[in-house]
Amino acid sequence: MKDFVKLLRSSPWSARFGMAVIVFYVVIATFAPIISPYGETDIVGSEFEPWGEGFFLGTDNLGRDMFTRLVYGARNTIGIAFVTTCLAFLIGGFFGLMAATLGGWVDQALSRIVDVFMALPPLIFALLLLTILGTSIPILIVVIAVLDSTRVYRLARAVAMNIAVMDFVEVARLRGEGLMWIIRREVLPNSMPPLVAEFGLRFCFVFLFISALSFLGLGIQPPTADWGSMVRDNATLITYGDITPLLPAGAIALLTVGVNFVVDWFLHKTAGLRDDQ
């Protein structure tokens, strides 16, 4: 704990800001039912009621409380993006480390398959798959995770290629250690810093990707609160000078900036660089 406090004090203001934003969003998402004054799908007033005492941020196109929808949107959008990113890293990281460790035809076969997927425009391909398979949350998570795992694969393979040829890995092979043991005990621990940084960046990309799909109508489906669909449903208010549709867009942008600040600082620390005094 003392080491963490010392590390936090030595961090730049940008990293502190980013960590504060992440903690704030996690608290909001965790305690959404307690913080929000109404239920997620409750219709509590007329459509597009203005900001006021009864409704802190007004109501949406169906008369649901905007503040409540924003709070629940944090839980749904961030939670689904986090699960999707974890699954993408589980798939892409495993196959990337395996390809680098085994090499040969396994590496070539996996890399060519990944090249095919990466050659396809991800948004268009996701729209096609979701149109065919449906837009339920499990399908949404699997489709985006598989598409995003190709980027994770490329990084994991590139990092592990340099580690797999080192002496301590060769010694493990000569001792007769199995593939999974070598990956888990030798390759993975030495690949963690860039993979952890990539996790933060991938989370941002997945987070924005899900919001974009929701905005287009093929992401998280109503009545589940989601920031992307909230922008679409209330976009008409912009023509009347109302900034309500910008609130979920601002929530998306703020979290993205906060995570990127923390990732930049983490990369700076793990690279062994020193700040100029």
Domains of the chain: 44-270 (1.10.3720.10)
Rounded Cα distance between 168 and 152, Å, is 25
Rounded Cα distance between 265 and 58, Å, is 38
The pLDDT tens digits for 241-254 are 888 888 998 999 99
Rounded Cα distance between 160 and 192, Å, is 10
**What band does 82 get if pLDDT is binned at 50, 70 and 90?**
very high
Query: Where are the extended beta strands (E) located within 86-206?
Result: none
Rounded Cα distance between 207 and 256, Å, is 8
Rounded Cα distance between 239 and 248, Å, is 17
For 2-11, 62-71, 127-136, 150-159, which range has the lowest pLDDT when averaged over its residues?
Answer: 2-11
* Average per-residue pLDDT for the chain: 86
pTM of the model: 0.87
